[in-house]
Amino acid sequence: MNVAIEIPKVTAAELGTLREWVRLGERLGVEMAFAAEAWWSDAVTPLAYLAAHTERIRLGTGIMQVTARTPAMTAMTALTLQDLSGGRFILGLGASGPQVVEGLHGVPFNPALTRLKETVAICRKIFAGEKVIFEGKTLTLPRPGGQGKALRIDHEPASIPIYLATLGPKALAYTGAEADGWLGTSFSPDYPGAHFAHLKAGAQATGRSLQDLDCCVSARVSFGDDLEALLDARRPGVAFTLGAMGSGETNFYGEAFHRAGFEAISREIQGRWRAGDRKGAAALVPDEMITGFQLVGSDEQIKTRLARYRAAGVTTLKLGLDSAGPLGPARFEALERFMALL
C-alpha cells in the first residue's frame, strides 16, 4: 500500500517548511503529494514550486475544480506541470460542491457529472495531440457560430494519469470505467462496498477491473493512548463534513455515510449543524463514525486498522496529519512515526 501526503494551505512565511515537508515525504518513501483548492489557494501553483525542489515524489492536484477553469486550460496546465516535474504530475479532478461552485465561482453546479466527463474527454484529446473538436452538453468546441477554429495544442502527446474525486454512485461508476485513480473520502474499510461496489461495476462495464484503478483513500490520523480524548477532538470535524461540506439538498459526503449504514444519525447531525448548534452536532457524532473512518489510537491500534485498509483493496492511503498541529516538527514526527508503522 502506497502513501500520499497532503500539501496544506501555503503562506509566504511557510514556504521553506512546506518544501521540507514534501522533501521529508520523498526521503521516507511517500509516493505522492496532493495540493487542494477550496477557498484558500489554488492547487496548481504550490506544485510548480515543489517540482523544482523534489526529484522522485509524484505531485498531484487534489483536486482542480472543473468549474474554475476551462477544460483546455486544465489540460494546458497539466502539460506544463508534467514538463516542470519531469513527468511526475497527476491530474486530480473533481466537481467540488454547490456551495463553492455557485457561491465562489458563480457557475451552476449541475450538470456536475456531465461537466466532469466532458472535461476528462477534452483533456484526453489534448494529451493525445488531437485537434480540439468536441460536441457535448456543457461545451462545444469550436464554439458554434463564432469566429474560432479547431486548434491543436502545441505540445507533443503526453501520458498524464487522471484521478477523479467522486462520491455519488453514478460518478463512482464513471471513475471505475474511465479514470486512472480514485481520490476517495468518507471511506471506511469496514464498509468498502459503499464505494467499491460502484467503482467495480463501472470498471467491469468497460472490461476493466478494480485492480486497474489506484484507489487512493483519505484518512485522518491521530496518534495517542487516550482514545476518548482523540475521539472528542475529531467529532467537530465529522460534524463539519456532514453539516458544512454541501448544501441541504446536496451533500455527497453525507450520502457516503448513509450508504455505510449511518443515514439516520448523519441527517440528525446535519440538521443540528444547519440549525446553528455546532457543539450539539459534534456531540452527536458516535465513536464508530470516527474509529471506522479514520486512523485513531495507539501504534498497535493503527497498525490493526492499516491491515483492514489493505484487505479492503485500498492501494494508496492519503494521510491527514493535521491532528499533530500546524506544519512543523510535530507533524514531521507524525509522518515519520506512521511510515515506521507501515
pLDDT digits (tens, 9 = 90+) for 44-97: 999 999 999 999 999 999 999 999 999 999 999 999 999 999 999 999 999 988
Looking at every residue in the chain, the average pLDDT score rounds to 95
Q: What is the pLDDT of residues 95-108, one digit of tens each?
A: 988 888 899 899 99
- The whole model's pTM is what? 0.95
Any domain includes 262: no
* pLDDT tens column, 180-193: 999 999 999 999 99
Helix pair angle (71-84, 112-127), 10° resolution:
50
Q: What is the pLDDT of residues 139-175, one digit of tens each?
A: 999 999 999 999 999 999 999 999 999 999 999 999 9
Is it the case that residue 28 has pLDDT exceeding 90? Answer: yes
- Identify the pLDDT of residue 205: 97
Q: In which residue are the cell numbers 521529508 written? A: 24
Whether 248 shows a pLDDT value over 80: the answer reads no
- 285 is a domain residue: no
How far apart are the C-alpha atoms of 307 and 313, rounded to whole Å?
Answer: 10
Q: Is the pLDDT of residue 20 over 70?
A: yes
309 found inside a domain: yes
Q: Does some domain include residue 263? A: no
Is residue 281 assigned to a domain? Answer: no
Please, are residues 338 and 221 in contact by the beta-carbon 8 Å criterion?
yes
H or E element that contains 135: strand 134-135
Q: Which CATH number covers residue 28?
A: 3.20.20.30
pLDDT higher than threshold 80 for residue 286: yes
pLDDT at 213: 97
Residue 151 domain-assigned (yes or no): yes
Q: Which domain holds residue 76?
A: 2-223+295-341
Residues in contact with 291: Cβ distance below 8 Å, sequence separation at least 6, in sequence order: 231, 297
> What's residue 84's pLDDT?
97
Q: Please check whether residue 243 lies inside any domain of the structure.
A: no
Q: 211 in a domain, yes or no? A: yes
Q: What percent of the chain has pLDDT over 70?
A: 99
Q: Please give the tally of structural domains in the chain.
A: 1
